[in-house]
Chain A
Amino acid sequence: MAALRTFGRMVLALLRELSDESAYERHLRAHGRVHSGEEWRRFCEERLRAKYARAKCC
């Protein structure tokens, strides 16, 4: 059961990484800020600009 829980946590962590939610949390921590709509938009500007400047795989 514990192994299953660990696996579930890992899957959730992966989904949060893929969805940039973890990156947003890191961004808040790194800049000592709290979540707000404005902050999320600021994060998105930077994050998405860098993300979509790289080629996507075929």
Chain B
Amino acid sequence: MKKIAGHLAWGIVSLVGAGCLGAIAVDRGEPVNSMWLVLAAVCVYLIGFRFYAKFVAANVMMLNDKRATPAERLRNGHDFEPTNKWILFGHHFAAIAGPGPLVGPTLAAQFGYLPGTLWIIIGAVLGGAVQDFVILFASMRRDGKTLGQMAKEEIGKVGGFTALVTVLLIMIILLAVVALVVVNALKGSPWGTFTIAATMPIAVLMGLYLRYWRPGKVLECSVLGFVLVVFSIFAGEWVAHSPTWAPWFTYGGLGLAIAVIVYGFLASTLPVWLLLAPRDYLSTFVKLGVVLMLGVGILFVRPDLQLPAFTRFVDGTGPIFAGKIFPFCFITIACGAISGFHSLISSGTTPKMIAREWHAWPIGYGSMLLESFVAIMAMIAACARQPGVFFAVNSPAGVVGLTADAAAATITGWGFAVTPQQMTDLARQVGEETLWHRTGGAPSLALGMAHIFTQIGGSEAVLRFWYHFAIMFEALFILTVIDAGTRVGRFMLQDVLGHVWAPMGRISWMPGVIISSLAIVCAWGYFLVQGVLDPLGGINSLWPLFGIANQLLAAIALCVATTILLKMHGPRYMWVTLLPLVWLTIVTYTAAWQKMFSELPRVGFLAQARQLEAALEAGKIAAAKVGETNTLIFNARLDAAVCGIFLVLVTAILVDSVRLWIGILNGSRERTVREAPFVATQLRAEEL
């Protein structure tokens, strides 16, 4: 009887899922309610989790709860510690959830809500969650080894070195692009800039509080920090209206970029307890709280999606970023569907804390499904406002025109009505000078979130608060990615330089710390300034570069995963990771090729350089702009070169992997599974 009820329940889930997917796929004309997306996503996630992931766990990984995990065997009270399944689930989710699943879907909404939504759901169930799950399993069976170590051991030295260099390069591009998102969100906004600036003394205060006044009371200190941050949002409104204070917090793109670069340098060189760690605690709690609030808000408000299923920009002429739906939709949305960066987390802290092997099922696979759901919520928030407003906020002046009248005419001409008055009113409602050309996704997402939160109950004043709360939330945890990333980049660089000159490798040697920190901030700072000065808004060139890099890292992770599955079972279950790998390889190579060699200047970096060069030679560039144009030409070529380096690195690891697979399949190479030996668990259920 119980079995029949189970089959019936799963039958209903499948029917509801199929019905909702059908509805969002074929419905045209009338705005679609966001609940169709939510239900479609949840049903597909449930089916994927219950059937596909369970199949992979039982048949492919052969998870065994009788086998002691590294958390038990190597338990040391520090890194290795058996942890309750649900606590570790939350911990892992907090670690994988960054700005990517929020910003990517917002940008990809330029194609309409449907392509991005389908990719987020299908990509996560068949690709992203599988990658996270298999890498977590592999690391757990190898005493918590990192992706780089596994690549070196399973594939070869080329794999290990490639993984290290790729991660460093990806981090430089990642830090530049997320910094650009913050800069564009705070440009000309004294309210937002004051609030974010205030988080720094608040973090220092928290650091001192924790170190000297109330050591160990992190939760108490974080509550205090949160109250002060909310107070700074209210104070920000006063600052924005003060003729004395507002100019102190009003900056253009370049000024803000320099401020973020200086912040990155300070965070990398100052003691970690003083600035970085307290900000990170605060950011983690605010992040989880806001994600929860957004979920509740969407369920409560159930907004209609104002953007159509497909827009005219599927043809590649989009104003936010150029390029056709294939491959650029799949590059733009990385973290919500599949993200290479997750493989670093899945082979980091989490495998050292898993108490039972079967816990990897909800933690590895389930956490990624939740992250995918966050991306769905971001897509809903982005599509909940009128399309004209969406494009007005996200389109750079270089595409739609500098003045409000010109931009409104261009966007209305695309079929998305918007008026200068409408944008002026909206800017006034959220307490901003202007909302035109606020590229990067953050302001647009903040508008969507504020719109949803305000509909629960509130007036214009509430809308203003929520908009700036959302900006604070996005900037707070993006800056946490920047400060921690700069520090990690510094360590990696010191590690490499230490082989050349030993003192540089010492992480507490101040000259080494300063030189390597400067090198890292200059590297990502260069790309940031490039993005700020780009007449097309910077996102057009930097976000695809980041997407390509992140997906190529996923390709490396899937190479490692496929190699491990091949060694475990022969070719039988290779397809589990080989299929997403083949898809990612096709997508990323196509995107990288187009970004380098497309004849369209808005798509291809080299074509863009040639176009600018031709304009320069034809004397079409004003004398005052010649220097700037030469810089743009150099930057376009540099971006093409970075893209090429990524391709070469990943090609190296792909070729190495394929040679190994062929060797294993024809019997000329050894098929050794390098797992830690089986040890029976002694852990009692009550210890979990």
Interface string of A26-58 (1 = CB under 8 A from B): 110111000111001100101111111111111
Q: Are B341 and A57 in contact (CB under 8 A)?
A: yes
Q: How many residues of B contact A (CB 8 A)?
A: 57
Q: Does B55 contact A (CB under 8 A)?
A: no
Residues of chain B within 8 A of A30, CB atoms compared: 76-78
Residues of chain B within 8 A of A47, CB atoms compared: 78
Q: Are A57 and B342 in contact (CB under 8 A)?
A: yes
Q: Does B110 contact A (CB under 8 A)?
A: no
Choose from A18, A27, A37 the contact partner of B285 (Cβ within 8 Å). Answer: A18
Q: A44-B211, A58-B100 are in contact. Are A14 and B86 (CB under 8 A)?
A: yes
Bound-complex Cα distance A36 to B344 (A): 34
Bound-complex Cα distance A29 to B76 (A): 10
Q: Are A57 and B339 in contact (CB under 8 A)?
A: yes
Q: Which segment of B60-68, B272-280, B454-462 sits at the interface?
A: B272-280
Residues of chain B within 8 A of A41, CB atoms compared: 211, 215, 273
Within the complex, the shortest CB–CB distance from A17 to chain B, in Å, comes to 5
Q: Are B78 and A13 in contact (CB under 8 A)?
A: no
Residues of chain B within 8 A of A51, CB atoms compared: 277
Chain B CB count within 10 A is highest, among A15, A16, A47, A57, for A57
Q: Does B117 contact A (CB under 8 A)?
A: no
- Number of A-B pairs whose CB atoms are under 8 Å? 124
Bound-complex Cα distance A57 to B477 (A): 11
Q: Are B277 and A48 in contact (CB under 8 A)?
A: yes
List the A residue with the shortest CB-CB distance to B484: A56
Q: Are A58 and B87 in contact (CB under 8 A)?
A: no
Interface string of B150-184 (1 = CB under 8 A from A): 00000000000000000100010010001000000
Q: Are B344 and A55 in contact (CB under 8 A)?
A: yes
Q: Are A29 and B77 in contact (CB under 8 A)?
A: yes
Choose from A18, A40, A50, A54 the contact partner of B215 (Cβ within 8 Å). Answer: A40
Residues of chain B within 8 A of A44, CB atoms compared: 211, 273, 277
Choose from B94, B219, B485 the contact partner of A16 (Cβ within 8 Å). Answer: B219
Q: Does B83 contact A (CB under 8 A)?
A: yes
Q: Are A19 and B87 in contact (CB under 8 A)?
A: no
Q: Does B298 contact A (CB under 8 A)?
A: no
Bound-complex Cα distance A10 to B222 (A): 19
Choose from B81, B216, B342 the contact partner of A26 (Cβ within 8 Å). Answer: B81
Bound-complex Cα distance A14 to B284 (A): 12
List the A residue with the shortest CB-CB distance to B178: A58
Within the complex, the shortest CB–CB distance from B163 to chain A, in Å, comes to 12
Within the complex, the shortest CB–CB distance from A18 to chain B, in Å, comes to 5
Q: Are A57 and B98 in contact (CB under 8 A)?
A: yes
Residues of chain A within 8 A of B398, CB atoms compared: none
List the B residue with the shortest CB-CB distance to A13: B87
Residues of chain B within 8 A of A18, CB atoms compared: 90-91, 94, 281, 284-285, 288
Bound-complex Cα distance A38 to B22 (A): 61
Q: Are B488 and A54 in contact (CB under 8 A)?
A: yes
Residues of chain A within 8 A of B222, CB atoms compared: 19
Interface string of B206-233 (1 = CB under 8 A from A): 0000111001101100100000000000
Residues of chain B within 8 A of A29, CB atoms compared: 77
Choose from B344, B487, B491 the contact partner of A57 (Cβ within 8 Å). Answer: B344
List the B residue with the shortest CB-CB distance to A26: B77
Bound-complex Cα distance A19 to B210 (A): 12
Interface string of B83-117 (1 = CB under 8 A from A): 11011101100111111100000000000000000
Q: Are B216 and A35 in contact (CB under 8 A)?
A: yes
Q: Does B472 contact A (CB under 8 A)?
A: no
Q: Are A19 and B273 in contact (CB under 8 A)?
A: no
Chain A CB count within 10 A is highest, among B86, B211, B215, for B215
Within the complex, the shortest CB–CB distance from B144 to chain A, in Å, comes to 12
Residues of chain A within 8 A of B345, CB atoms compared: 57
Q: Are A55 and B171 in contact (CB under 8 A)?
A: yes
Q: Are A56 and B98 in contact (CB under 8 A)?
A: yes
Within the complex, the shortest CB–CB distance from A35 to chain B, in Å, comes to 6
Q: Are B216 and A58 in contact (CB under 8 A)?
A: no
Interface string of B545-560 (1 = CB under 8 A from A): 0100010000000000
Residues of chain A within 8 A of B171, CB atoms compared: 55
Q: Are B481 and A15 in contact (CB under 8 A)?
A: no
Within the complex, the shortest CB–CB distance from A6 to chain B, in Å, comes to 10
Question: What 5 pairs across the A-B complex have the smallest Cβ distances?
Answer: A30-B77, A40-B215, A19-B218, A14-B90, A56-B484
10 contacts between A and B (CB under 8 A): A13-B84, A19-B281, A26-B81, A29-B77, A40-B211, A52-B277, A53-B491, A56-B480, A57-B335, A58-B99
Supplied contacts A41-B211, A47-B78, A58-B100, 4 more A-B pairs, CB within 8 Å: A18-B284, A26-B81, A37-B211, A58-B178
Residues of chain B touching chain A, judged by Cβ–Cβ distance below 8 Å, are: 76-79, 81, 83-84, 86-88, 90-91, 94-100, 167, 171, 174, 178, 210-212, 215-216, 218-219, 222, 272-273, 276-277, 281, 284-285, 288, 334-335, 339, 341-342, 344-345, 348-349, 480-481, 484-485, 487-488, 491, 546, 550
